Amino acid sequence: MDRGLLGYLLSHGSYALLFGALVAGGVGVPLPEDLVLLTSGALAHLGVVKLPLAIGVCYCGVLTGDLLLFHTARKLGPKVFEQRWLRGLITAERRQHITRLYERHGGKVIFIGRHMSVLRVLVFAMAAVQGVRTRTFLFWDALALTLSAPLLVGLGYVFAQSIDRVAAGFGRAEHLLAIAVGGGLALLILSRTVMVRRHKRRA
């Protein structure tokens, strides 16, 4: 965990700082979103901020950062994938895979992507390039945040004395979730491929 960031927030904690950190993290500044949410819960536990307001501020901060990322990607179009902060996430296979997911499931992909930190930025950028409407993006992203934001802030509040262990545990859980989702999608694609091939043979 970045103890420098945690220490600064604990000693200078404020709603504006939390909001700004989450917005900045949403547009590519290396401030881990999950860490800031956990830290806001710790601040509430210490009485620096009030828990309900901290949840609200964090919710709005994350959503604002996501919308800025979405509109930046919309403005740049396919050129967004040439940006340095996205190059490491992009492969032709990933782009094709996410494109197919949007074609089949629409905005639901945004809901799933919000809970997968590894692919979150790429999924959101693809939504903009794929022509997903702003209101559709906002709906699914906001819906997903109603689960993740209160959960992480609450974990930071309850386990303020052991926030390092909470962050590590959440990271492992998130990786397991990503593996499970990826495995399920792989099985789905495999089964559909087999069905298509059988249909072609019969034809």
pLDDT in tens, 168-199: 555 554 444 444 444 554 554 455 555 556 65
Q: Which of 64-68, 122-126, 169-173 has the lowest mean pLDDT?
A: 169-173
Per-residue pLDDT at 110 exceeds 60: yes
Percent of the chain at pLDDT > 90 equals 21
Average pLDDT over residues 74-91: 71
pLDDT band of 2, cuts 50, 70, 90:
very low
- pLDDT cut 70: percent of the chain above it: 67
Structure tokens at 68: 């800025």
Residue 63 vs residues 21, 132, 139, 200: alpha-carbon distances, Å = 12, 16, 10, 46
Say what the pLDDT of residue 29 is. Answer: 76
Q: What is the pLDDT of residue 120?
A: 84
Q: CA 13, CA 18: separation in Å to the nearest integer?
A: 7
Q: For the full predicted model, state whether its pTM sits above 0.85.
A: no
Mean pLDDT estimate for the chain: 76
- What is the C-alpha separation between 113 and 33, in angstroms, rounded? 14
pLDDT of residue 27: 76
For residue 51, the model assigns a pLDDT of 92
Q: Please report the pLDDT score of residue 3 as a whole number.
A: 47
User: Looking at per-residue confidence, does 1 or 81 come out higher?
Assistant: 81
Angle at which helices 120-129 and 51-76 pack, to 10 degrees?
Answer: 50
For residue 116, give every residue at least 6 positions away whose Cβ sits within 8 Å of its Cβ, in sequence order, or none.
123, 174, 177, 178, 181
Average pLDDT of the segment spanning 18-23: 89
Which one of 9-23, 77-91, 141-155, 164-178 scores highest in mean pLDDT? 141-155
Contact between 66 and 26 under an 8 Å Cβ cutoff? The reply is yes
